[in-house]
Structure 1
Amino acid sequence: MNLRRLFSIVLKELRQLRRDRLTFGMIVGIPTMQLLLFGFAINLDVRHLDAAVLDQANTARSREFVAEIAASQVVTLREQLSSPQQLDESMRQGKISVGIVIPADFDNRLERGDRAPLQLVVDGSDQVVQQAARQLAAYPLARLRSADAVPPAAMEIVNFYNPERRAPVNTVPGLVGVILTMTMVMFTAMALVRERERGNLEMLIATPVSPWELTLGKVLPFIGIGLVQVSLVLALGKLIFAVPLRGSLLQIYLAALLFILASAALGVFLSTLARSQFQAMQMAFFTFLPQILLSGFMFPYAGMPRAAQWLSEILPMTHFLRLIRGIALRGASLADLWPEMAALAAFSAVVLSIAVMRVSKRLD
């Protein structure tokens, strides 16, 4: 082995990396982004879950308990409800994740200690909410009792939509979003770049194809592929893990269709920035990491700082997870979850328009 020749090759590679600004940026950007996300944005402590109170006792002690629960910051009280039907509706629509039900005989239960003094109704479609419920269930009630009262029983936890607390019920619907994000963005990001690298763009230049036609022509085949992937994950989840599909299957596909369009639009936009398929793959990974970490799939959304939550609201996977879990597990409709549909539609329209404006029928 000749060390001079070896050094020449190493020097050549370093110079090439220096000229490739995108790759150099990824070398610095990816570890920086991971450090910031895991160190700052990702917080395993569950805080500020949306909650509602159904206080059927309306006594001094019940109001004191509600005030102390609100001060704990585990939940944020959004509504004061007057009936169990309102609680069911708010949870089905995704407005709340936790319901605190205080029965009419709350004071008597505290004194006797023979029954749970209150009930926590939690959205079992989200595993993070179940963790928060266990924290609330351990909340001390001793201060609310009189000195000679019997220690009360633990709070009763009722899991809606996942009474068995099975992890696949939470995971499988979320995996639909993860798989679509990973495949749709990467495939479409490489589509236009592949045409440029293979020289096929020259033939397209000689045709009257408009930028919109070229862009949509690249996107539409991947939409079909995405729908096949959705069908595969849902079928395997049902057959292997017995994941329930309580909502309309048609509405699940409509939500998935809009999410696929948003992911494909992001991929086409990345393809207008990349100069090679390798760069397109790098940028696709660069966008995939924040989506899986900030969407609520792996880490609690409620525990993130406000700035991280604002960023996650821009990402399409955040809204799709709310849609797929709401429809498939809670039986909600698209009308109940219209803000998430509107967010995905707005993202698709804006990003796809920018991508079309950047698509050029020129070799350079």
Structure 2
Amino acid sequence: MLNIHLPTPEGIIADYRLVTTEERAIAISPAFNRIAYAAAHVVIDPQHQGADWLKNPRVDWDSTLAYRHHLWRLGFNIAEAMDTAQRGMGISWDIARELIVRTLQEAKTVPGADLAAGVGTDQLEAAEATTLAQVIAAYEEQMELVEKHNGKIILMASRALAKAAKTPQDYLAVYNRLLEQSKDKIILHWLGDMFDPALTGYWGSTEFETAADTVLEIISNNIDKVEGIKISLLSKEKEIDFRKRLPSQVKMFTGDDFNYPELIEGEDGYYSHALLGIFDAIAPVAAAALNELAQGNKSEYYRLMNPTVPLSREIFKAPTQYYKAGIVFLAWLNGHQQHFTMAGGMQAAREISHYAEIFRLADQAGLLQNPQLATQRMQSLLKLYGL
């Protein structure tokens, strides 16, 4: 029996008895019938930070790359240098550039490893973006880096483009230009404003239907250059609607961290592949579930995957952009890093009752690999809050 006293959102300290007290072995021979990208987090090095650590944090490269090996072993592809890696929220383009190069090199040492890298415009401050030419140049610089190292591109949504663009035609001009010159197929990226308020009105409209028409026109204009599109709108209805409108050769990658089990399974012959931040946190259980889905065992797939959904909804609750704190918290609880410190001090972005709820829900979903270690670390965090 393993118990811990945990705070609740109501300010009560309640006793919690863990469901599992024994260490869980991870023994999976991955065989998925869906493409599954895990957007991976970055581990910083809190012992070697300079005075500018809020803008230029030191990265623990060994731990960061070790976590990617953990995901590869479980069968996941890596979506590198995305918002889960605190891109634009503590991790600058200079750091992201080194991260992309290091991970692409590391992937060459792993048979079958797959990696796609986020390409954006974050070296261009959004406040300074006044022309589409500036945005295109920033995108091109990052595309050139990834292509130079033979990487696959995820064309990320751009704060600078959201500021500089005035009409849907501006988005068409920028994306047509970038896709025309890309060497290989890329994955488009539609990130909702719940993840980043600076992206409000992306694609030239705040109306989903109008924005969707613009994206579909971009895809139609560049059908041979688009592998797929990731949609992160936290609305399964919108994703399903858009998925049915995609050309058959273009893949849907769900980024819906609220409704992923049913979107990945699909319906009426349509389904989504996955490019998810939550896969970083739930990787062992998600890998087992995806194996079951590939074997046609849908009831077992849902038995494993469904308990992860309340956990994901807690991690991604509003303000959603702070979800990275819950991702890193679970990596720490599970022994993948020796501290709970984040770039920009983002570990302080969430309340202690939030972390307590993540602890409970992770236990109930079978995601505390070593419950004794996780409990000790949770207790150490509670002490920092005087609990």
* Bin for the TM-score computed over the shorter chain: under 0.3
Report the TM-score, using the length of structure 2 for normalisation.
Answer: 0.24
More strand by share: 2
Larger Rg: 1
Report the TM-score, using the length of structure 1 for normalisation.
Answer: 0.25
